[in-house]
Amino acid sequence: MKILFVNGPNLNLLGTRQPEIYGRTTLAAVEETCRKIARDAGLDLVAFQSNHEGALIDFLQQHRDAVGAIMNPGGLAHTSVVLRDAVADSPFPVVEVHISDVAAREEFRRTSYLTEVTAYRVIGKGVAGYEQALRWLIEETKRA
């Protein structure tokens, strides 16, 4: 069984891009932590990052056999109806993660098109939010 670890635009720069907002931990370090947690739970973590909206949609659609997904869509959360539609069509629960507290930032970041179609959200917990999202998904797979 696999859980998807999906990250959108600019998250490849995690650790160096605006560290005062996003911290200094790299995406590779977050992925490794989550991979270990998933492995300990008997799950495979399949990671993917892209700066391209369509590539994220393709990845979700190609992995419809997953049991869940953690997704940090980055700025696409606030702009992408087509990503929302792909998440809504996913046959597994998707957890939306944002490292920063988007509700306390610019007005345009306060609305996410994904809110209504995700099973759970972790907002403003820093990179620890990924681990919280993963642990929630692991518990959900046990209930299924």
CATH of the domain at 126: 3.40.50.9100
pLDDT at residue 106 is higher than 80:
no
pLDDT in tens, 41-68: 999 999 999 999 999 999 999 999 999 9
Could you say which of 22, 52, 63, 120 is catalytic? Answer: 22
Evaluate the CA torsion angle 80, 48, 68, 123 in order and state its sign: negative
pLDDT band at 144 (very low <50, low <70, confident <90, very high): confident
pLDDT band at 142 (very low <50, low <70, confident <90, very high): confident
Answer yes or no: 98 catalytic: yes
Number of domains into which the chain is organized = 1
Domain containing 106: what range?
A: 2-143
pLDDT band at 20 (very low <50, low <70, confident <90, very high): confident
pLDDT at residue 105 is higher than 80:
no
- Quote the CA–CA distance of 61 and 142 in Å, as a whole number: 23
pLDDT of residue 21: 83
pLDDT of residue 29: 98
Could you say which of 52, 78, 98, 120 is catalytic? Answer: 98
